[in-house]
Chain A
Amino acid sequence: KAGVTQTPRYLIKTRGQQVTLSCSPISGHRSVSWYQQTPGQGLQFLFEYFSETQRNKGNFPGRFSGRQFSNSRSEMNVSTLELGDSALYLCASSFRGDPYEQYFGPGTRLTVT
């Protein structure tokens, strides 16, 4: 069974631009979560989707948004990029969310200049 895939793997953007990242979960998994990893803040939860509905959201500004499609694929969008948005963005999928095991994709490394 194929793992979680994320595209693109690397991205360079300029301050003020917006970016869209994509995540395809493991087949049969309906929960998709997004996390941001930075050297200063570690791994932080962004949001979680199940059956196209956002069930949970972390403490991030409204510039960070996401959605999930009927095939469980998910996208996250960051508008008006700031230098501090430079990070590794990781997507995880699980069968239904807690308490099922979560599996991570390889991540998208975003650099904002």
Chain B
Amino acid sequence: GIQVEQSPPDLILQEGANSTLRCNFSDSVNNLQWFHQNPWGQLINLFYIPSGTKQNGRLSATTVATERYSLLYISSSQTTDSGVYFCAVVHVGANNLFFGTGTRLTVIP
């Protein structure tokens, strides 16, 4: 099956710092989504980005499908950004999301 690797696994930042999270995948995909899992477990949609670049406030994402990676940028981090960030892809021919192992972000004041 498809492999999805996220890096780094853990990240600790001072409030106000910027960060880049990376997602590598091993095969062609039709769909790529970034999620933030809140402390209660719900997955919050950040970006639906099978290719290209999108921005939403302090967050932006870029997917280069031909090179099989996606990046999530968080600028001017806040303590509320803490949590686990997941990248998930849909392999060509499938209908389900395949998740990476996540990046646990901790933002300290």
Chain A residues in the interface with B (C-beta under 8 A) = 31, 33, 35, 37, 42-45, 48, 50, 55-56, 58, 88, 90, 92, 97-107, 109
Contact = CB atoms under 8 A, between A and B. Distances in A.
Contacts of A100: 31
A20 B94 CA distance: 26
B26 interface: no
Contact of A55 (B31, B95, B99): B95
Given A43-B86, A98-B31, A99-B50, A104 B99 contact: no
Contact of A101 (B33, B43, B95): B33
Contacts of A102: 31, 33, 97
A49 to B, nearest CB: 10
Given A98-B30, A106-B41, A106-B42, A33 B99 contact: no
B96 interface: yes
B74 to A, nearest CB: 20
B101 A42 contact: yes
A89 to B, nearest CB: 10
B25 to A, nearest CB: 15
A103 B45 contact: yes
Contacts of A109: 41
Interface residues of B, number: 22
A50 B31 CA distance: 18
B48 interface: yes
Contact of B95 (A37, A43, A88, A98): A98
Interface string B31-44: 10101000011110
Interface in B68-87: 86
B96 A33 contact: yes
B92 to A, nearest CB: 9
B100 to A, nearest CB: 8
Given A98-B90, A99-B31, A99-B90, A31 B95 contact: yes
A10 to B, nearest CB: 11
A42 B35 CA distance: 14
